[in-house]
Amino acid sequence: MKVIVLGAGGLGSIIAGHLSQAGEDVPLVARGDRAKFLVKNGITITGLADFNTPCTISTEPKEITHADVLMVAVKTYHLEEALASVAHIKFSSVLSVQNEVQSYESLASVFGQSNTVGSSPVFSG
């Protein structure tokens, strides 16, 4: 199963880092200085688990041609632009791991309600 994580902030990096550490090839869509930093340094997780792992970083989501699952972890004010960048991919499932429940409706309107799952992330360490 191919999973793409859209958004390289705190939530997206934690999810992509753990999946990458588990041996999955998980492209993490990132931009700008954050993308450059992650390419150079990998993802560092500290807390309940402590590790650093390399991760596939995609700065051009239009180049991604297929994936099974999309995990959306972008800020709400970047959501429209971020979704437009991956709207060309047909996903079996789209999961919102954003801090706002309202984003579910935006995802469902792009990818279909039957393919979209909302969630409320909780991390502790």
Residue 124: per-residue pLDDT = 63
The full set of domain ranges for the chain reads 3-117
Q: At what angle do helices 79-86 and 103-111 cross, to 10 degrees?
A: 20
Tell me which DSSP letter residue 91 carries.
-
Mean pLDDT computed over 73-83: 90
Q: Which of these, 125, 123, 103, lies nearest to 15 by C-alpha position?
A: 123
Token pair belonging to 88: 């060309």
pLDDT at position 86 is 93
Residue 65, exposed/middle/buried by CB under 10 A (0-12, 13-18, 19+)? exposed
Give 38-76 pLDDT, tens digit per residue: 999 999 999 889 999 999 999 999 999 999 999 999 988
Strand, coil or helix: 28: strand
CATH architecture classification, 3-117: 3-Layer(aba) Sandwich (3.40)
